Amino acid sequence: MSHSAVAVAPEREVLALRGVSKRFGAVQALTDVDFHVGAGEVVALVGDNGAGKSTLVKVMSGVYQPDGGTISFDGRDVTIDGPAAAQDLGIATVFQDLALCDNLDVVANLFLGREIRRGGFVDEVAMETEAWRLLRSLSAKIPSVRIAIAGLSGGQRQTVAIARSLVGAPKVVMLDEPTAALGVAQTAEVLNLVERLREQGLGVILISHNMADVQQVSDRIVVLRLGRNAAEFRTAETSTADLVAAITGASDNAVTRRAERRATETETAEPATVGLHKGDPA
């Protein structure tokens, strides 16, 4: 979209993946995927179910090792060989399946793996105080931080998982469908949070099926389809119809025809084309 070159001014790139592939047995979940997020940038990652979004997130958070491709963080090439490595780099993740321990209470879950210590023992008081601060800042409706996660509703669990990603001082926060189980007010809180994180100069990766949410908060939208880069848009210049077409890959409907017309008019990547990024002129 050449008429808005101004928006393409690159943010300082924090996390970047080049040519990443991941295969599960017979399923090629990711093929040659490029992806990056800058400091103070919100990138939405969208795509149909099974497009490979969660797999990409897990590659970036060290849960899966990619079969090919490179990852760089703050300009340096890195290997994220496990969740601890991702944490050390400052990559925090809210997983789609939340990954909480049902038998532990809220405080223990929030600080799992990063317990505050005092004289060799875990400091329950400091952790509980900090837990309340984090949860209040998310307007969390959680009656007690001393009940086991098993006793919380889906939305409450999701809030805990989100609060968990804010413990420590992350540089990149990835949210895999963070609002799927949330109510209206809390969804708004999460979107506010995403904006606050951007203001603080963090890179945010947001996965959501809600196009309205995505368009509200993101700067850039990356579309995956069948494990490949399908398209990439500047949010400000993109209509819902463009997105839908890119996500579904439908080539024979009014939405795509319109998108194709726009693409030729504005030299934008045709949404269904693989391998074009940043909305560079075609």
Partner 1 sequence: MSAPVTDPVADPTAAGVPADLLDERLIQEQGLVGAVLAFVRRVRSGELGSLPVVVGLVIIAVVFQTQAQTFLSSRNLVSIAQFAAPVGIIALGIVLVLLLGEIDLSVGSMSGLSASIMAVLVTYHAQSLWIAIAAAIGAGVAVGLVYGLLYTKVGVPSFVISLAGLLALLGLQLRTLGENGSVNLPPTSGLIVFARQKFVTGGAAYGLMALAVLLYVGARLLTWRRRRAAGLSTEPLTLLAVKAVALLAGLLYAAYYLGIDRGIPYLTILFVVLVVLVDLALRRTRWGRHVFAVGGNEEAARRAGIKVDRVYISVFVSCSVLAALGGLLAAGQLTSVSQSSGGTDTNLTAISAAVIGGTSLFGGRGSAWSALLGIFVLTSIQFGLNLIGVDASVRYVVTGLVLLLAVAIDSVSRRARSSSGRG
Ligand X SMILES: Nc1ncnc2c1ncn2[C@@H]1O[C@H](COP(=O)(O)OP(=O)(O)O)[C@@H](O)[C@H]1O
Q: Which is nearer to partner 1, 108 or 259 (CB)?
A: 108
CB of 116 to partner 1, least distance (A): 6
Burial 30-46 (b: 16+ CB within 10 A, else e): bbbbbbbbbbbbbbbbb
Residue 55 lies near ligand X (rule: CB under 6 A): yes
Of the candidate spans 52-60, 103-111, 180-188, 260-268, the one that interacts with ligand X by CB under 6 A turns out to be 52-60
DSSP character for 150?
A: G
Indicate the residue among 56 and 221 with the shorter CB distance to partner 1: 56
CA distance 57 to 113: 20
- The item of partner 1, Mg ion, ligand X, none sharing an interface with residue 104, based on CB under 5 to 8 Å by kind, is partner 1
From residue 169 to residue 198, the character string flagging contacts with partner 1 as x (rule: CB under 8 A) and all else as - is: xx----------------------x--xx-
CA distance 282 to 279: 8
Q: Give the x-and-dash track for 51-90 against partner 1 (CB under 8 A).
A: ----------x-x------------------xxx-xx---
Q: Which residues contact 195 (CB under 8 A, 6 or more apart)?
A: 42, 217
Q: Which residues contact 52 (CB under 8 A, 6 or more apart)?
A: 22, 29, 30, 33, 224, 226, 227
Token output for 99: 């990954």
Q: At closest approach, how far in Å is the CB of 45 from ligand X?
A: 8
Distance (Å) of CA 1 to CA 15, 183, 231 = 24, 36, 13
The answer to whether residue 29 forms part of the interface with ligand X (CB under 6 A) is yes
By a kind-dependent CB cut-off of 5 to 8 A, residue 256 interacts, out of Mg ion, ligand X, partner 1, none, with none
Pick the binder of partner 1 from 136, 183, 240, 253 (CB under 8 A).
136
Helices (H), the chain: 53-60, 83-89, 106-110, 124-137, 154-166, 184-199, 211-217, 240-248, 254-266
Give the residues lining the site for Mg ion (CB under 5 A): 54, 96
Give the residues lining the site for ligand X (CB under 6 A): 24, 27, 29, 47, 49-55
Give the residues lining the site for partner 1 (CB under 8 A): 61, 63, 82-84, 86-87, 93, 95, 98-104, 108, 112-117, 120-122, 124-126, 128-130, 132-134, 136-138, 141-152, 166-170, 193, 196-197, 200, 202
